Amino acid sequence: MSPSNRVATTVAPQAPTEPQGGPWPAPGITRPAPDITALARELTELALSGSDWRPVIRRLAAAAGRPVRLLGVHGDVVAANPPGPAGTTGWAGPAGTAGSAGSAASAAGVSGGLTALLTRPGYTEVTCADGWRGRGATVQAGSRYVGLLLIGVGPPAPETEAGSAGQDAADDDRDGLDALVNAARTALAIVAVRRDAEAAARAESASRLANELRFGSPRGHDEMLRSAARFGLDLAVPHAAALFFYDGRHGRAWGTGLTWIESPTARDGELGWTVLTGDIERELGRIRDRLQGMVGPDRPVLAAAGPVVTDNGFDLAETTSSFSEAEAVLALLRHRGDGMTLVHSELGLAGLLLAVPRSRLEAFTRAELGPLLERPDLFVTLAAWLETNGSRAAVAERIHVHRNSVGYRMNRVRELLGLQDDEPTRMWRLHAAVVAREVLQALSAASTASADESVTERRPVPT
CATH topology of domain 216-347: Alpha-Beta Plaits (3.30.70)
Indicate the domain borders of the chain.
36-196, 216-347, 358-453
Question: Which of the four pLDDT bands, split at 50, 70 and 90, describes residue 409?
Answer: very high
pLDDT in tens, 256-271: 899 889 899 999 999 9
R_g (Cα) of the chain, nearest Å: 28
Question: Which of the four pLDDT bands, split at 50, 70 and 90, describes residue 147?
Answer: confident
Question: Which of the four pLDDT bands, split at 50, 70 and 90, describes residue 29?
Answer: very low
**How many angstroms separate the Cα of 266 from the Cα of each of 43, 273, 419, 446?**
35, 5, 50, 20
Average pLDDT over residues 38-54: 92
Q: 36-196 and 358-453 share one CATH topology?
A: no
The secondary element (H helix, E strand) that includes residue 313 is none
Average pLDDT over residues 133-148: 87
pLDDT in tens, 419-461: 887 678 888 999 999 999 999 999 988 877 665 554 444 444 3
The secondary element (H helix, E strand) that includes residue 432 is helix 424-458
**Does the pLDDT of residue 101 top 50, yes or no?**
no
- Select the more confidently predicted residue: 342 or 159: 342
Question: Which of the four pLDDT bands, split at 50, 70 and 90, describes residue 277?
Answer: very high
**Does the pLDDT of residue 35 top 80, yes or no?**
yes
Nearest to 139 by CA among 353, 344, 294: 294
Strongest mean pLDDT among 79-88, 119-128, 345-354: 345-354
Q: What mean pLDDT value characterizes the chain?
A: 80
CATH code 1.10.150.120 for 358-453: no
Average pLDDT over residues 175-189: 91
Average pLDDT over residues 59-87: 81
CA distance linking residue 329 with residue 412, whole number of Å: 33
CA distance linking residue 37 with residue 438, whole number of Å: 61
Q: What is the pTM of this model?
A: 0.59
**Does the pLDDT of residue 158 top 70, yes or no?**
no
pLDDT in tens, 2-19: 333 333 323 333 333 344
pLDDT value of position 375? 92
Q: 36-196: what CATH class?
A: alpha beta
pLDDT value of position 453? 54
Question: Which of the four pLDDT bands, split at 50, 70 and 90, describes residue 221?
Answer: confident
Average pLDDT over residues 335-350: 93
